[in-house]
Copies of this chain bind each other. A is one copy, B any other.
Amino acid sequence: MYKKLLNSQLSRITPEQYKTIGKTPVVLILDNIRSQHNIGAAFRTADAFAIEKIYLCGICAVPPSSEIRKAALGAEESVEWEYHEDTLTLVKTLKAKGITPLAVEQTENSVMLNRFIPEPGKKYALIFGNEVKGVSQSVVDICDGTIEIPQFGTKHSLNVSVSIGVVLWEVVSKMGRLFER
């Protein structure tokens, strides 16, 4: 009744087809993420939700890298990416192009993720920060807002690849993408 599907039954598309499908109007900015495992997982999640592009900034490692590949399982070949040394300069550039930068951070005046409603027609740059320091305050300062994942426990902190998954899922859901299926 609940027979597991074979890989061949998953309607997976090729990296070539992936280039041509409609993308979710979201780019990811990884601000000085240290772990290549987290970077690889971000590629895999971005591939799953058809995110437009990943910007790897600062100390982020870049493909090709066997460590990134181990977590990305090849998704680093489907999802477009660019390296930028300085996150702040990148965010200013994207903002000038009309993209709305939002940092995922626990800040004053943050919007709880469940209350965040993406505006139709807008493209968002979602910024995730270093495993220990989070998104740099200088980057947060030029964002149009911050999104916070509400939490109830002792830690108030999720692994950054988990945060990326949760936020992308919620945003992609609210963009109505999933409900077409």
Show the binding face of A for B, using Cβ within 8 Å: 1-5, 7, 10-15, 17-18, 21, 37, 41, 44-45, 47-50, 71, 73-75, 78-79, 103, 105-110, 112-114, 134-135, 137, 140-141, 143, 145-146, 149-159, 161-166, 169-170, 173, 177-179, 181
Contact = CB atoms under 8 A, between A and B. Distances in A.
5 contacts: A2-B103, A44-B158, A44-B159, A73-B157, A162-B165
B44 A114 contact: no
A3 B107 contact: yes
Contacts of A164: 162
- Within the oligomer, what is the number of copies of this chain? 2
Nearest to A136: B4
Contact of A153 (B47, B140, B173): B47
B4 A105 contact: yes
A179 B106 contact: no
Contacts of A181: 112, 150
The 3 tightest CB contacts between A and B, nearest first, are A47-B153, A162-B165, A48-B151
A144 B116 CA distance: 33
Nearest to A168: B166
Contacts of A13: 152-154
Contacts of A49: 151-153
B109 A2 contact: yes
Contact of A161 (B12, B159, B170): B159
Contacts of A73: 155, 157
B140 A2 contact: yes
A78 B154 contact: yes
Contacts of A179: 114
